Structure 1
Amino acid sequence: MSGTQPRVWTKLSNDRAEALRLWAQREGVREDDSTKLFSVIAKRYVREVYPTKAVRTRKDNDKELVHLLRVFGHMPIDAIAPMHIREYLDIRGVVAKVRANREKALFSHIFNKAREWGYTMGQNPCQGVKGFKETGRTRYVTDDEFERVKEFAHATVVDAMDLALLTGQRPADVLKIQRADIRDGALWIVQNKTGARLGIEITGELATVLDRIYSRPRKAISPYLIQDDNGQPLSQIALRSRFDKARTLAKVEFQFRDIRAKAATDTGDLAHSQKLLAHKNRDMTEHYVKARMGERVKPLR
């Protein structure tokens, strides 16, 4: 026994299912189906892929994953066929067609990762399965509607509306602006959704709005530009609640997110709009604007 080599332990993974899968591959034996469950792969997806995504995307994926796990969680990845995806869409689409499309897209990405990780060599079951047709918003907010809502809005909502219009940014990006983001004569923004970085020159009406916000008395010092009465950053829930209240009193129907489209349309210059909204290409901006204002053409004569 003196020549017996000591046993060497190799840690394969902290996750039991993943460790079993890797052990089966190393030993050349058949993997247990329990290591290939959609729930197992989804868990790894959350652990390894989520950190590469924006915060807002992760929150959306969390909601989408709840529905996917409820249906597919107990199924081995290779047992999920196109017919199952079709059935899922048909049932889920009765109440939420857009959400069903998003959930299908997340499933497809998880499946593609499963192929990369070696859980399956099968074809993605989402391939060839059509989602529901979506129509983008076409609502254009007029100047009169915009001002009418501001007349009934809380001061924090007025600030958020003006900043959203003048910068063309999404609600979440407006609310996260801090005083430190104002430097070198520009307002610097990193978009949550795309990670795009841009500096918006502080001139004209934007300068006036920022001066107004800075001059407003505060009960507490906070790094955030738009803050609640107690000095805390205004939450998206609070913004929506206050905005909805003002909108109801003004008897106007538009969503806060429509302000971004108004900004893109009101510049009158697609190149300017593209830079302001940080769109990757002109076609995206052009579609964004034309969907609300229509195609401008010359008469026959």
Structure 2
Amino acid sequence: MFFSEWLSTYTSLLVERGLSNKTIYNKKIWLDRLDEKFGHRMLHNIQTSELHQIIRAKALESHASAAKTAHSVISDIFSEACSFGLITHNPAAPIRSPRTSPQRSRLNLNEWLRIFRAASVHGFQYTYLSMLLALITGQRRGDIQKMSSDNIRDGYLFVEQEKTGAKVALPLSLHLDAIGTSLNDVIRISPASGNILRFDCGRAATTAALTVGFMRARRLAYPDNYWQGNPPSFHEQRSLSERLYRSQGVNTMRLLGHKSQYTTDKYHDSRGRDWVFVDQ
């Protein structure tokens, strides 16, 4: 069987797994790259060394996360091919998964407050509203961008997560003690109907605008060389939210919409930025 033929079948298998559209889209990027390189080749003729070169090339470009994704996708493609009896061994099996180390700096509360003040003074309304929603709800940027009054009913803000499809109902009474603000407080200062985050013209703010707005506020508050590693992105507010809520006693696995505590614990890792206080 040609590699391109198998990829067509494999894509159908991904859909059958019930993965989200976004996850399939992200995997499809690598499927297209692999199809371009190996599509005309017979499946059983693709060698371990060729696959290793693709993964290693990404790692050498300092794209550790992309290299890890490539390894995962490639391994699964050939593992499934083995299961179907199309090949007798998985050529990706001997390849070790690239090691990744966190490159992006974590945020602490004092830094967030300083960035938030900069956003409040110099930014657009959607910038500081998006920061409040990020910290108080603990949700991802894409889910925050879509938040609307249409999703509020019976005292809850309903969020269907774009990445995983997880459904999280956040009570408007949800209160983050660290900043003395509740979700309802943010809703009160938001537009009465429609999208919560909007441009001045009334259109819904885009995810790119949220990213750029946060970056500009961060740079007003701190120079880029202040951070150890890459400066924190908008997404780092999700980790800070998890850490603050866990210290408050909130079940953060449910808040973040995770299926396992292991995933939540990765967000809880401050990467050496928080002090651990020892009780007497």
TM-score, normalising length: structure 1: 0.75
Q: Single out whichever of 284-293 and 123-132 deviates more from structure 2.
A: 284-293
C-alpha distance in 2 between matches for 1:236 and 1:229? 15
C-alpha distance in 1 between matches for 2:9 and 2:195? 35
Which structure would you say has the larger Rg?
1
Partner of 1:236: 207
TM superposition shift of 1:289: 1.5
C-alpha distance in 1 between matches for 2:28 and 2:200? 31
Partner of 1:169: 139
Identity in percent: 23
1:149 aligns with 2:115: yes
Partner of 1:80: 46
C-alpha distance in 1 between matches for 2:209 and 2:41? 40
Distance 1:50 1:237, change over 3 A: farther
Partner of 1:25: none
Other structure's SS at 2:201 match:
coil
Alignment of 1:64-213 (within 5 A): 64-95=30-61, 96-115=63-82, 120-136=86-102, 139-150=105-116, 151=118, 152-203=122-173, 204=175, 205-213=182-190
TM superposition shift of 1:97: 2.8
Give aligned pairs, total.
Answer: 258
Distance 1:197 1:297, change over 3 A: same
Partner of 1:42: 7
C-alpha distance in 2 between matches for 1:114 and 1:230? 52
5+ residue gaps, structure 2, are 176-181, 224-230
Match of residue 242, structure 2, among 264, 268, 273 = 264
C-alpha distance in 2 between matches for 1:64 and 1:212? 43
Alignment of 1:209-224 (within 5 A): 209-214=186-191, 223-224=194-195
**Given residue 63 of structure 1, which amino acid in structure 2 is its aligned partner?**
I
C-alpha distance in 2 between matches for 1:226 and 1:54? 24
**Given residue 69 of structure 1, which amino acid in structure 2 is its aligned partner?**
D
Alignment of 1:23-42 (within 5 A): 36-42=1-7
C-alpha distance in 1 between matches for 2:94 and 2:132? 44
TM superposition shift of 1:177: 1.7
**Given residue 263 of structure 1, which amino acid in structure 2 is its aligned partner?**
S
Other structure's SS at 1:49 match:
helix
Distance 1:80 1:190, change over 3 A: same
Following TM superposition, the consecutive aligned residue runs of length 4 or more in structure 1 with deviations greater than 4 angstroms are: 115-118
Distance 1:272 1:48, change over 3 A: closer
**Given residue 233 of structure 1, which amino acid in structure 2 is its aligned partner?**
A
Other structure's SS at 2:170 match:
strand
TM superposition shift of 1:77: 1.1
TM superposition shift of 1:99: 0.7
Any conservation in 2 of the 1:270–1:282 contact (CA below 8 Å)?
no
TM superposition shift of 1:37: 1.9
Other structure's SS at 1:93 match:
helix
Distance 1:242 1:37, change over 3 A: same
C-alpha distance in 1 between matches for 2:88 and 2:256? 40
C-alpha distance in 2 between matches for 1:146 and 1:99? 28
**Given residue 103 of structure 1, which amino acid in structure 2 is its aligned partner?**
A
Other structure's SS at 1:240 match:
helix
**Given residue 261 of structure 1, which amino acid in structure 2 is its aligned partner?**
S
5+ residue gaps, structure 1, are 1-35, 216-220
TM superposition shift of 1:103: 1.6
**Given residue 38 of structure 1, which amino acid in structure 2 is its aligned partner?**
F
C-alpha distance in 1 between matches for 2:74 and 2:264? 29
TM superposition shift of 1:81: 2.6
TM superposition shift of 1:133: 0.4
Any conservation in 1 of the 2:143–2:162 contact (CA below 8 Å)?
yes
TM superposition shift of 1:108: 2.4
TM superposition shift of 1:278: 2.0
Q: CA RMSD in A?
A: 2.6
Partner of 1:255: 233
C-alpha distance in 1 between matches for 2:96 and 2:133? 39
Any conservation in 1 of the 2:109–2:240 contact (CA below 8 Å)?
no
Partner of 2:253: 274
Give a deviation string over 1:162-202, Cα, whole Å, max 9, x none. Answer: 11110111111111222221111111111122221121110
C-alpha distance in 2 between matches for 1:121 and 1:183? 53
Q: Which has the higher contact order (CA 8 A, sep 6+)?
A: 2
